[in-house]
């Protein structure tokens, strides 16, 4: 009898990075359950078995529907959380509601999905959270987002320690600036793009597909000794001192 098909759940699957993760995992032989507030994008090129669940990642019913779809495809072995939440504004202008809204999606929902998948998954499964370089550095006006991503990195470490005895690994990837549709105004402007690229030692932007390939590696057996890691996928941004004016 052939082994069951490995299944990964991907939240935020309709976004730039999330959709790249869905496509890449499918090409690597995973069955995938994508979860988002919107229907599956018409242009999403997917190979193999996929299901799509429309729902709010904060709702328990969405988690239940996604897990039911996943168990119908094979053995739950992976989770990727790629759901975006941000609240821009000066640190002293934020209020508790704004911070809570970011934390609900970036941290509380990631914890809820992680615990639910761990309960349903086989041993030696893997979780990858999409964090950000903002968890390691500060930028004016991005405090809520940065604090949330730093908490997500802490969740990764806690998961690695507590679930490691089961063989379940928990890691994060930290993308830098990734040109996707929602930030097109920045990378399509030559002057803005040039300033951004000045902080990339590799001299090019990291693509959503670059991030997705690292996610696929961390989910797979080749990374079986890697857990508790927050891995930058940033073109060298975090390695570089900012250019002084």
Report helix, strand or coil for 130: strand
pLDDT at position 228, please?
98
Q: How confident is the model at residue 241 (pLDDT cuts 50, 70, 90)?
A: confident
Tokens of 231: 């891995």
Range of 18's domain? 6-180+208-236
Average pLDDT over residues 11-37: 94
In this structure, is residue 38 part of a structural domain?
yes
**245, pLDDT greater than 50:** no
Treating both helix axes as pointing N-terminal to C-terminal, what angle do 143-163 and 96-103 enclose, rounded to 10 degrees?
40
Residue 181 bears catalytic tag: no
Residue 213 has pLDDT above 90, yes or no: yes
Does 89 reside within a domain?
yes
Query: At a CB cut-off of 8 Å and minimum separation 6, what does 97 contact?
Result: none
pLDDT for 20 equals 95
pTM (2 d.p.) = 0.93
| Stretch 96-108: mean pLDDT | 92
pLDDT at 225 over 90: yes
Segment 207-225 shows an average pLDDT of 97
Mean pLDDT computed over 107-120 = 97
CA distance 158 to 151: 11
Other Cβ atoms closer than 10 A to 226: 14
In a domain? residue 191: no
Average pLDDT, the chain: 90
Give the pLDDT band of residue 43 (cuts 50, 70, 90). low
Within 10 A of 16 (CB to CB), how many other CB atoms are there? 21
> Which residue from 156, 152, 79 is spatially nearest to 118, judged by alpha carbons?
79
CA 165/CA 169 separation, integer angstroms: 9
| Residues 141-165: tens digit of each pLDDT | 889 999 999 999 999 999 999 999 9
Within the chain, what is the greatest distance between any pair of CA atoms?
Answer: 64
User: What residues contact residue 9 under an 8 Å CB cut-off, 6+ apart?
Assistant: 32, 33, 35, 66, 67, 70, 76, 78, 79, 80, 113, 117
Which entry of 145, 163, 205, 217 is annotated as an active-site residue? Answer: 145
pLDDT at residue 181 is higher than 90: no
Report the distance separating Cα 117 and Cα 101, nearest Å.
Answer: 23
Of 119 and 245, the one with more pLDDT: 119
Q: Whole-angstrom Cα distance, residue 163 to residue 122? A: 12
Average pLDDT of the residues in 195-200: 82
Q: In terms of C-beta density within 10 A (0-12 exposed, 13-18 middle, 19 or more buried), how is residue 197 classed?
A: middle
From 40, 129, 134, 149, active-site residue:
149
| Average pLDDT estimate for 173-197 | 79
Q: How far apart are CA 218 and CA 118, in angstroms?
A: 16
Per-residue pLDDT band at 107 (split at 50, 70, 90) = very high
* Mean pLDDT confidence for 38-51: 75
**Residue 32: closest CA among 231, 233, 216:** 216
Give 133's DSSP letter: G
Q: What's the domain count of the chain?
A: 1
Is position 189 within any domain? Answer: no
Predicted confidence band of residue 50 (pLDDT cuts 50, 70, 90): confident
Identify the band that residue 46 occupies on the pLDDT scale cut at 50, 70 and 90: low
Q: Note whether residue 200 is domain-resident.
A: no
Assigned token pair, 95: 């209020």
Respond yes or no: is residue 149 known to be catalytic.
yes
User: Does any domain span residue 142?
Assistant: yes
Q: Give me the CATH number covering residue 176.
A: 3.40.50.720
In a domain, 202, yes or no: no
Is 121 domain-assigned? yes
């Amino acid at each position: 009898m052939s082994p069951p098909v490995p299944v990964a759940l991907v939240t935020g699957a309709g976004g730039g990075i999330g959709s790249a993760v869905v496509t890449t995992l499918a090409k690597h032989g995973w069955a995938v359950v994508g979860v988002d507030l919107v229907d599956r994008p018409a242009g999403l090129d997917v190979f193999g078995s996929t299901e799509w669940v429309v729902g709010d990642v904060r709702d328990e019913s969405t988690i239940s529907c996604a897990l039911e779809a996943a168990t119908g495809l094979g053995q739950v072995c992976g989770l990727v959380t790629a759901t975006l939440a941000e609240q821009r504004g000066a640190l002293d202008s934020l209020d508790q509601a704004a911070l809570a809204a970011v934390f609900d999606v970036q941290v509380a929902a990631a914890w809820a999905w992680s615990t639910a998948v761990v309960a349903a998954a086989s041993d030696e499964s893997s979780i990858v959270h999409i964090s950000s370089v903002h968890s390691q550095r500060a930028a004016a006006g991005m405090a809520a987002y940065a604090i949330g991503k730093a908490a997500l990195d802490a969740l990764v470490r806690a998961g690695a320690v507590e679930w490691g005895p089961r063989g379940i690994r928990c890691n994060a990837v930290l993308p830098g600036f990734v040109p996707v549709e929602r930030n097109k105004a920045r990378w399509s402007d030559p002057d803005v793009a040039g300033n951004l690229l000045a902080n990339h030692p590799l001299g090019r932007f990291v693509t959503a597909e670059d991030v997705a390939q690292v996610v696929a590696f961390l989910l797979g057996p080749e990374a079986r000794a890697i857990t508790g890691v927050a891995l930058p996928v940033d073109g060298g941004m975090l390695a570089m001192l900012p250019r002084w004016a």
